[in-house]
Structure formats: structure tokens, C-alpha cells
Amino acid sequence: MGSLSNMLNEKQDALCAQSEWDFSSLRALFINCTLKRSPAVSHTQGLADVALEIMRKNGVQTDSVRLVDHTIAFGVYPDMTEHGWPKDEWPAIYPKVQAANILIIGTPIWLGEKSSVCTMLIERLYAMSAQLND
């Protein structure tokens, strides 16, 4: 892929340039649920890069996480190392989710279904819901 500065087409660039809104107080996090580890080309990341560039051009602070590049344990507890797993990087990733005003989950679709990585993400997000309930 080319650099992000030439990723948008003319219409997208024009719409970004015409925007009168201030989104500088917003933070967006894109979680890529591709099955391909970096540096393999991910079509999911390619789609995300366009959306993230549009957000950046409109002042949104952006970040992206490719889950398969991290060791994330399966389970429905906030930290699976407390439940027998030797390593779990989810507790280090979750603060990025909490800090985001916008959460985008991108996944390839296989036979009409989300990826297994996306299912794991949803389970881990569910695990954190108890921390938000009063």
C-alpha cells in the first residue's frame, strides 16, 4: 500500500477539506481481527486505513491494534493469567479501548461469519463489562 497521504481518492480528500466540524477531542481505536500476522497484507487493514485517514484529516486522534500480533488468552475474565494462562496481553490493550470515544472492529468474513479472532475479542470485551457495571 502507498502512504496514507495518497490513500484517499479525490472525492474523499475534498469532503475532508470541506469539513467545518471540530473532532479534535475524539479518539478512535480500530481493532483489526484479521487472521494474518504483521507484516502480511491484510485487506481488513486496507479498509481500515482509509477510514482512519479520513478521521485523521478531520482531527480525530487514531490508533490501531492488530490482535493476532499479540498473545491474548481465550476466556471471559479480565486477566486470564489469574486463571491458568501463562501470558495474556489483553490487560495492556484494554486501556486503549477505554480511552476511545469510537471503537471500530474490523473482521474478515468467512462463509458469512466473523473471524475467530473477532469472536475472541467480543468474549474479552464481555469479560470487562463487569468492571463498568455499578
Amino acid at 118: C
| CA–CA gap between residue 34 and residue 117 (Å, rounded) | 7
- Measured in degrees and rounded to the nearest 5, phi and psi for residue 27 equal -120, 135
pTM score? 0.88
Buried/exposed 47-78: b ≥16 CB within 10 Å, e otherwise: ebbeebbbbebbebbbebbbbbeeebbebebb
**pLDDT number for residue 132:** 72
The tens digit of pLDDT for each residue in 5-62 reads: 468 999 999 999 999 999 999 999 999 999 999 999 999 999 999 999 999 999 999 9
- Measured in degrees and rounded to the nearest 5, phi and psi for residue 32 equal -90, 120
The tens digit of pLDDT for each residue in 99-126 reads: 999 999 999 998 999 999 999 999 999 9
Reported as a pLDDT band with limits 50, 70 and 90, residue 64 is very high
| CA–CA gap between residue 124 and residue 111 (Å, rounded) | 23
Which three-class secondary structure state does DSSP give residue 11? helix
Report all structural domains of the chain as residue ranges with CATH numbers, in order of start. 23-132 (3.40.50.360)
